[in-house]
Structure 1
Amino acid sequence: MITKFNSIKKVGCYEDLTTNANKPFDKVNILFGNNGSGKTTFSNILYLLSKHCKDKQTLFDELTESDSEIEIETTNGKISLKNIIASELDIYVFNSKFVSDSVYNGNTSNIDSFSNEIKLTNEKINLIDKEIEIVLKRSTKINYWIKEIQNKLDAIWKPLADDFQSKISNSRLTNVKPDITYKVEGDISKLRNELSKLYWNYDNVSKQSGTIARLSAIKERLSTLSEIRIDFENLNAFLEHPISLSAKNNLKERINKYQQKSEEKKIQNQIGDVNDWFKKGGRLLFLSKDIDSHCPLCNSDLTDNIDSILQEYTSHYSEAIIKLFDFLDNLVNHIEKLKSFDFLSANYEISTDIVETIKLYDIKADNFVFDRNEDLLSSLESVLLKLKEKKSAPDSTIKIDGSAVELIQAYQEIIRKFINTIEEAIDKEINTLKGKNIEDIIKEIKDKIKQIVSVELNQKENNIFESKRRTNSEIASTCQTISSFFKQTSEQLQTQRSEELSKLNAESKFVNIYLKHFGIYHFIIDRDKSKSKDNITITFTETGRKKSKFGFSLSEGEKTALAFAYFISKLRVEKIEGSKEEFENTVVVIDDPISSLDDNRVFQTANLIDSFLFFNKDNPAKQPKQVFILSHNLVFIKYMYNALRTNPEINDNINEYYISTISPFIKDLPSSLKNFTNTYIHKLKTIIDFKEKQIGYDSVKNYLPNYMRIVLETFLGFKLAKVNDDKGRLPGLDSLIKAMVTEFKNYEDRELDGLNKDRVIERLNHLKKISDHESHGNIHKAEEFIFISEAELRQFAKNTIQVINYIDEFHF
C-alpha cells in the first residue's frame, strides 16, 4: 500500500510537492484539485510504479529532470528516483496517458487486447448466467432483509454504545454486540431501569471513597437534630419526694449574709466563695466533734450546741438536695435552650433535607418528623413550670399532667426512630459499596446492554414484516441459513461458468455493458482484432450507420465514458474474472473519469466505481488493496464520498485530500469543501473567505471575478424569481440589474451599512463590469494579461457581500 509522498521535487508540474495532511494514504483516497493543480502528474507518478505502464522510460523522461527528487513511502519500503522504473507494483491507472495508450490518442482509435481474453458467451454459459441471475435476485432479497434487521439492531446499539463509552472509563464493548439471531426474553422498561441502576452503582463504586465519606457526613448530620431528653420516670421520683429545708434555710441565710457583706466590702476576691468556705468549715466541725467539740476558728466550746450546728450543715449540703437541684437545673436549662429557637421547625428542615439528599444515592426513606406543634410546646412549658415549682419548694409533692408527658414522649420516639432508620439505611449502603467490585459491575452492564438490544430488536413495533408472526431474530436466523445456501449455490455456478470460459472478444462485450451504465444507449462498439490501429467500429443503434473513426463522431464526454468503460472492463477481465493474481493486491488509480464537458454522468460514474470496486456480491472480500480517485468536479467528489461511506467495510478507511494550485501541496480537504452542497454555496463561501483573508490572493485571482458574477446572477435570479429575460433566455446580470431597478421602485429607500438603493445599483453595475471579460481590456488588442490587483479584488469581494446583505433585507 502507498502511504505517503515524502518528497516530490521538480517532477512534472510540481516544483516541490509537500504533504501537509494529518493522515497517511488509506485504503480509499479521494483527492480534489482544480484544473492545473497537478492531478495528472500525481497519477502519472503512480503510473511509474506500475508494471502495466507502457513505455515507462519515456514517461519517466517527460516527468523528471536531472535534479528531480522522488521518495514515496509504501508498506513494503521506500521508492526513490533510482528504483521507480524498476518498480513492478500491480497498479491500474486511468488517466490521460492510459486513454492515449489504450483507446484514443487524438488521431487513431485503438483498443488494446486484454491480457486475458475471455469468451463469456456460449449457450451453456448463457444458461448458467440465467441461473446465477435467479440466485442473485433471491439472494439480494434475503440479504436485504438481513441488512434491514442489522440496520435496526445498529440503530438500537449505537446510543447504548455511545452512552457506555461516555460513562465507563478504560473499557470497550468488544464482542458484546449481539448477532441479529441472538434472542432473549425480557421487559424492556425493567431492563433499562436495571441498566440505569448499574451505571449508578458503577459511578458510586468508581468514586467509592468519596461516596462513603459523603454518606458518613450525612449520617453525622443526624446529630444536629434536637431531642427532648427528659427521663420522666426519674423526674417523677424527684418531684413526688419532699425534702425538708427548715434547717437548711438557717445556714443559707447566714451564707447569703456573709456573701453579701463580702461583696459590700469588695473583698470577695480575697475571701473566695463563701459557700465553699462554709462547706469546708462544716467538715472541720465534724472532725472537731471527735476531738474536743471546739470551734476550729475561735476555739470556743461548742459542746452544748454542736449537734444542732452539724444538723444545719447536713441539711444544707446533703446529697439528696444537691442531686435534686442539679437535676432540676439541667432540665430547666435543656427546656429553655429548646425554647430559645424554633427547634421543631429546625428538626423538620434538617430531616427533610437529609431524606432528599440520600435519594441522590438511591436510598429511600420517609420523613415522619413533623413541623411546629403548639400542643407539644405547651406541654414543654407546663413541665418547665413544674420544675421551677419543685425547685422553689423541695419539700412539696409535684405531679405532671399525663397528656403532656405522652406528647413529649411521642415526639422523643419519632426523633429516635428517624435517626435509627436513616443510620441503618446509610450503613447498609456503605456496606454494599464496600462489597462491590467494579469489574463485576462493568460485566453486568455489558450483559444488560446485550439483553436490551436483543429484546428491543424483537419488539413488535420493530418487526420488518407487517405480519409480525415471527420476531426479527427468528427471521434473521432463517434468512442466514438461506443466504448461506445461495452463496454455496452461486459459488458452484461460478465454478461451472469458469470452466466454460474460452477466448472471446471480451473487450467490446464489456465496454458496451458499461457504456449503458453511463446512460449511453445510442451507439455500441466492436473491435476488429485483425487491425492494429483504428480497430474500433462504432455502430449508431438508431440508424445502423457505422464509423471506424470517432474523433469527430463522439463528444468529449462520450470519449471519456468510452475510455473509462474500457478501463473498467480491463479490470474485470484481467483482475476479477480471468486472472490468478489477486484483486486484493491491486491498486486502482482513477484520474478525472468525468469530462469537464459532461456533468450529466456524474452520479452514474460515482455509483459504478463504488459498486464495481467494493460490492462484489459473489465474493465481498474481493476488493482492491487501495484506491486513489482524483477529480476537479466537486459534485462528483461529493457523490463519490457519499456512495463509499455507506459501505461498512471501508467507511473508516476513506481519506479526503485537497491538492493546491499554488505552491503545490497535499492537505486535508477543507471543511468548506467537505460540507459542499452546491456550486453557489461553494463560490459564495470562497468570496467570503477571501474577503476575510482566509484565502490568499494568488489562489483566487484568476477566477474570483467570475465567481462574483455567478453568485450575483444566482442570488438575484432566486430573489427576483426571474427565470428568463425579455427574449425568453436565462437572465444575465444585465437583465437582473434592470429588474432590480424596477423592483426597487416599489419600496421606500433605506440605508444599511452605508448603502442605499442607488448605491446598490451603482455597485451592481460596477461589479458586472469587473466580472466581464472586458474588465481586462480589449481582448483583440491585448499585448499582455494583467490580473486585477489584490486591493481592488478584496474591495470587490466586500462589495459583493454588502450588496447581497442589503438586497436580502427586502422581501419581494
Structure 2
Amino acid sequence: MIESIDIKDVATYDNQGVQINDLKKINFIYGANGCGKTTISNFTYDNSDPKFNSCSLTWENELPLKVLVYNKEFRIRNFGKGKLNGVFTLGEATADQIKVIEQKSEELKTIKADGIQKRETLEKLKADKLKLENDFKEATWIKVYKKNENNFKEAFIGSLQKESFKNRLLQETTTNTSPLESFENLREKAKTIFGQQPQKIEPISQISFERILEIEKNEIWKKIIVGKADVDIAKLIQKLNINDWVNQGREYIQDDICPFCQQRTITDDFKKQIESFFDETYLNDIKLLKELKEEYSTIALNIVNQLNTIEVNQKAISNSKLDIDRFSAYLKTLLSQNTTNSEYLLNKIKEPSRSIELFSIKEQSDLLTELIFQANQEIKKHNDIVTNYSREKNNLIKAIWKYLIEEYNAEITAFNNQKSGLDKGIANLDSQYKAKLLEQKKLDTEIKELSKNVTSIQPTINEINRILKSYGFLNFKIVPATEDGFYQILREDGTVAETTLSEGEITFITFLYYMQLAKGGISEDEVNTERVLVIDDPISSLDSNVLFVVSTLIKEIIKNIKADTGNIKQLILLTHNVYFHKEVSFIDGRTKFCNNTNFWILRKNEKVTSLQSFGMDNPIQSSYELLWQELKSEGIKSSLTIQNIMRRIIENYFKLLGKYGDDDLILKFETKEEQEICRSLISWINDGSHSVSDDLYVELQDRTIESYKKVFKDIFVLTNHEGHYKMMMNLEEETI
C-alpha cells in the first residue's frame, strides 16, 4: 500500500505543499473543483513526470504495487482512440480452475506476508545493530576519549571523531600486541615524548680540494720558461733578460717593419731566428701554463661558492651543528689566499720566465673539511635521535591504546558479542528473505501461466453490457472489435457510437470499463496482480440514478478491500460532490469509525492548496452542514469564497420556506451598502437555477468579510430565524 504522498512545487501546491500521511486501506479526500485533486491523481499515475520532481510517494515495506488511476486523463487515454483495450478476467474458467488459482493466490498471499514479516524483522535487526553501534560509539567517546583526552590526546590524532575513535578502539583490540603498562608510567612518558618533535637535519655536502691542491704543486709555476739557447739571437735576449718582452713583441711583427723602431729592419733571417728561439717546448709550456691557470680559477670559484652557500644555510638553521664562527674565519683566510694566488697566476701568464710559488690552501682546506666532518657527525647523532624518537613515540601510542582496550575490555567484549549475534541473525534472515522472494516469484509466474489458460475479454463485455442494460442504457452496447483484444461501442443499428455519446454516457461507460480493469488486466498475466485504485471524481456529468450505481460499485470494492478479498489492496477516492462523498463513505448507520479508513479535506485559499486531516472521523455529514462548517472555518480569507458560501446557505434554507421576496429582505436593511450585499446573497430568488453543488462566483469590490458576515447574520435575525443561526454557528445562548 501507499503510506504517504508529498505534493509540492506543482500546480496550486507551494514549496511547502501538503503531506498526506498515514494512508489506510480506504481513503477519502474531499475538495472543491480546482483545489488540486487531479494533481494528486496524475502524480500517482506517473510520478516520473519532471513537473513532479519535488513530490514523493512512500510505499509500505518499500514494496510498490500497480496503481490504476481513474480521472479525466484516463477517459482520454482509453476512450479517445475509438476502441478500448480488452480486459482479461477469469470469467471462462471452470470452478476447479478458479479454485486452483484462488488456492495459489492465497498461498502467494501467505508467502508475501511471511516475506514482509521477515523483511520487517530484518530491518529491525539492522536498526538494533545501528543503535548498538551508536550507543557504543557514544559510550566510548565519553568513557574512553574524554576521560583520557588531557593526558593522551597526541595518541588519538587521526581518530578525533566519534566514529573513527570507535573504529580505532575495535581495531586495536584485535591487532595490538604491545606489553601492558601502568597509567602513571604512560603519563610520565607522554609528558616527555608528546612535546615538540625534533626534525631531521640534512648533512652538509663534503667539498673536494684534491684537484686544486694538485695544481698548486705543479712544477710549471717555478719553471723559468725561456727560448732556445743555441740560436744566435739567444745570447742577446738572455743577456738583456728580455724573453718575455720579445715574446710579447712577436705578436706585433708585420712584414719587415720592426714593431719597436718602426724601421725596415726585420729580415727573413731575423724572423727565422725569433721563431727558432721560441720553439715547440716553449709553446707547450705556455699552453700548459694557461690551461692550469684556467682550471685553477674555475675550481677555486666553485669551491668558494659552495663554502659561501654552506655558511648562509647553516646560519639560517637555529640548531646548526657547524661551528659557524670558525668556519667563517677559515673561509675568510681561504678567500684571501685565493685572491693572492690569482694575482700570482696572472703574473706568471704575463711573464713566463718568472718563477712563482703559490700559497698553499691545504691548511685552510683541511680545517674547513674537518669542521664539515665534525658537523656531519653531530648531524648524524641528531638524526639518529629523531629516528629513535619516532620509534619511541609509536611504541608509546601503541602502549596507550593497549592500556585503553584492557581498561575497557568488558564493554568491548560485550559489544562484540552482541554485534556478532546480530550479524549472524541478519545474515540468516537476509538469506531467508531472499529465498522467500524467489519462492514468491516462482509462484507468481505459475499463477500467471494458469491465468493465461482461463482468461478472456468476453466476461468483461458481458458484465458491462449487463450493467448498462440494468440502468436503462439500451441504445448502445460493448462488442469485440475486429482487431483481437479490443472493444468497440456500437449503436443498435451497428454503427460506431463513440462520437455520438453524451458526456454522461461517456463518463459512465468509461467508469464501468475502469471497474472491470480494476478486477482484471490488459494482458493475461496481469489478472492477479495486486493493485491500488486512485479514483478522482467519477460522477461528473452523471445524474442522481447513475451516481447511486457508481457509489454502489465502489462500495462493493471497499467491502472487498476491508475483507482482504481479491487483488485490490487500497483505495484513494477524491471527490468534490458532497452527496456522493456521503453516500460512498456510509458504513452501516451504527458504526461511526473504521480503523481501515481515513478522511481529508483539500482547500484552496489565495491560490494555494492546503490539507486538513480528520483521521477516522468523517467530516462530511451533509452538504448543508458542510457549508456551515466552511463558514465557521478560520482559514477562509477570500471575500469571494465567503460570499458564495453564504449565498448557498441562504438558498438552501430559505428555499424550504419560500415566502420571502428579494425586496422584502433587502428593504429590511437601512444602509445602501447592506442592501447591495443582501441583494447579491439572495439572487437565487430571481433565477432559481443554482443548487448547493454549483459554483457561482460574485465578487464585490471593497467589501470586507465582516460586512458579509453582518448582513448574513441580520438576514436570519430580521426573518425571525436567529435560533437556527445560533444552532448552526454553535452560539447556543449567546446574544446575536
**TM bin (shorter chain):** 0.3 to 0.5
TM-score (norm 1): 0.38
Q: Which has the larger radius of gyration?
A: 2
